[in-house]
Amino acid sequence: MGKYIVRRLLQMIPVILGATFIIFAMVFALPGDPTVGKCGERPCSAEYVAKFREEHNLNDPLVVQYGKYLGKFVQGDLGTNYYGIPVKEDLAQRYTITGRLALMAIAFEAVIGILAGVLAGVRKGRFIDNLVTVSTLFVISIPVFVIGVFLQYLFGIKWGIFPATVPSLDAPTSSLILPAFVLGSLSIAYVARLTRTNLVENLRSDYVRTAKAKGLTKNRAVGVHTLRNSLIPVVTFIGADFGGLLGGAIVTERIFNIQGVGGYIWRGINSRDGVAVVSTVTVLVIVYLLVNLLVDLLYGVLDPRISHD
Amino acid sequence: MTDTIAATVAPGAAGDDVGEARSLTQDAWRSLKKNKMFWISVALIGVFVLMAIWPSLFTSKDPGFGDINNVRATPSAEHWFGTDTQGYDIYARTIYGARASIIVGILASLTTLLLGGVLGVLAGFYGGWLDALLSRITDIFYAIPLILGGILFMASFPNGANSNYFVVVGKVVLVLTVFGWPTIARLMRSSVLQVKPNEYVLAARALGASPWRIIRSHILPNALAPAIVVATINLGVFIVVEATLSFLGIGLTPPAISWGVAISDALNAIRTYPHILLFPSLFLSLAVLAFILLGDAVRDAFDPKSR
């Protein structure tokens, strides 16, 4: 187990290096000059521009810049953005709210998605099955931003059940319910379908027939024997989806005006703030890879036949 | 299906099916032909593709003509779907908008299938250091979420006001390819690994067949199905991602006409003029739905377990 974790962590290093380099190269290619508009109405003095470029290593070639950035990153220094604020402080605040949002979205996925999938799978071909299959298809085929704006209008503005926007960084959990549901909506549908498919397939297998023949109640046969096996692909999906959620947060946070990571990346891109964008995305990639490692370790819990020795 | 099998196993039973050797593809086609969902999705896709190739077949109106004396009109005999904020005829815009989404979807699906397929086959078939290298590269691109990569890329290479239509569309296809291929590559690699140890592959190798011949006539026919299914479903996903990028203002940009652009314009007026939003959203969702249903039908046909 320990050996497996160490090997996986080592494998992560080239992935993190590669992914951050790609991000770095794309941010480097961002058109426009970061010093524009920094000195008010007049153009910046040549001395200021030179100092700014020197401070942020903008005169070096791409690879050298990346190396210098990486050197600092390894020591835990995420750099300062172009406004002189340490990125670390910004990120700590913003990851808190986006993390809450993503965790709530995952909770929605796990609870609503699996529940709907189980209900549909157990009653295959009946009304509830058709309802789940059709409604999930419906959700999958509508873009998330349309769902988001629509639900924001209905629940936030027309009926006033939830707040329509989340302006503050320490927002109460209740104001994040609607955005989290929107963020997770697509995945809820996928989880429901995936659970249903796997459950239906496993319900036909021999060990379920044996369990039933032994006189187990249907609840136990489904809940204990079948569901546990059927959940492995679902857990994989939820884990892999975590990165997608953090990326999708850019859209959701824009709709609900949440000052989270997505908004930070978006603002960083628009103000040509390379350090801010690269650091944010690097943290995102690392979180994503760690979550996937965690998921792989969870397999062993769900299915004792899978071991990591 | 069961009677066919029964006829094949019963010795001496008269019938055309006896002794007929059917390949996996023929088998899949037979079950596809009976699937109603397959024909519905094919019909829908056919209409959308026709719309993309020949929009003037569906409407005689000019999608670029904005009548500012008649903005945000509700549907009428003159304007079937009404007019939008710029006074454009929504029906004409929706018909002409099919082109961008369909081109982006189909091209991006083909390129991801090609790139991911080739790399996946190489990694799975040759193994060793090539597999290790390709798998790590796949991991790198897999670790960057599609939307995030798309936003960064499109922001780094923005569209000018006079950008050529095909350059604008091509850029979206490129970014979807760059960040979309790892799914296919992983899938292809694992299905090649499943096919490779089979006896017929060993036999072909023992008979002295070249690697290219083994891949082409033994590995590919047996390993391609899952990748094609996912590529079809991804087609719908790519259409949605294009719309999302357009919503953020960096995917397709006006004067390009697309469902994504139309939807993002209409979202500003959702409270007051919801019909502007309804029609492009409806068409986009129908197109996405058609490709997902097609993918599902093909998967069911190729997967004997679901029969």
Tell me the residue type at A299: Y
CA distance to partner chain B, nearest, from residue A29 (Å): 6
d(CA A243, CA A240): 6
Closest CA to A225 of A245, A248, A209, A243: A209
Domain range holding A197?
A: 90-302
A:B CB pairs within 8 Å: 119
CB atoms A281 and B148 under 8 Å: yes
Residue B15 is predicted with a pLDDT of 44
CB atoms B292 and A250 under 8 Å: no
CA distance to partner chain A, nearest, from residue B65 (Å): 26
d(CA A243, CA A249): 10
CATH of the domain at A270: 1.10.3720.10
CA distance to partner chain B, nearest, from residue A143 (Å): 6
CB atoms B271 and A145 under 8 Å: no
Enter the DSSP assignment of B89.
B
CB atoms B240 and A251 under 8 Å: no
**A274 or B228, higher pLDDT:** B228
Q: Which of B145, B236, B292 sits opposite A243 (nearest CB)?
A: B145
> Over the stretch A184-208, which tens digit does the pLDDT of each residue have?
999 999 999 999 988 988 888 888 8
Number of domains chain A contains? 1
Answer whether residue A129 is part of any domain. yes
Residue B11 is predicted with a pLDDT of 45
For an interface test with B, give the residue of A24, A149, A187 to mutate (most B CBs within 10 A): A149
CA distance to partner chain B, nearest, from residue A208 (Å): 17
Q: Is domain B34-64+74-306 annotated with CATH 1.10.3720.10? A: yes
Closest CA to A259 of A250, A269, A246, A270: A250
What percentage of chain B has pLDDT greater than the value 70?
90
Answer whether residue A235 is part of any domain. yes
Closest CA to B148 of B248, B235, B239, B234: B248
Digit-by-digit pLDDT tens for chain B (307 residues) are 444 444 444 444 444 454 566 777 788 888 888 888 889 999 999 999 998 888 877 777 777 777 777 777 777 767 777 777 777 787 888 888 888 889 999 999 999 999 999 999 999 999 889 998 998 899 889 888 888 888 888 888 877 767 777 888 888 999 999 999 999 999 999 999 988 888 999 999 999 999 999 998 888 888 888 898 889 888 988 999 888 888 888 877 777 788 888 888 888 777 777 788 888 889 999 999 999 889 888 888 887 655 5
Question: In this predicted structure, which of A218-227, A285-294, A300-309, B243-252 has the lowest mean pLDDT?
Answer: A300-309
Q: Which of A22, A250, A288 sits opposite B147 (nearest CB)?
A: A250
CB atoms A251 and B263 under 8 Å: no
Closest CA to B73 of B55, B86, B59: B86
Q: Is B57 helix (H, G, I), strand (E, B) or coil?
A: helix
Query: How far, in whole angstroms, is CA A112 from its chain's centroid?
Result: 18
Per-residue confidence at A32, pLDDT binned at 50, 70, 90? low
Assess contact for A243 and A283: CB atoms under 8 A: no
Answer whether residue A225 is part of any domain. yes
Assess contact for B219 and B147: CB atoms under 8 A: no
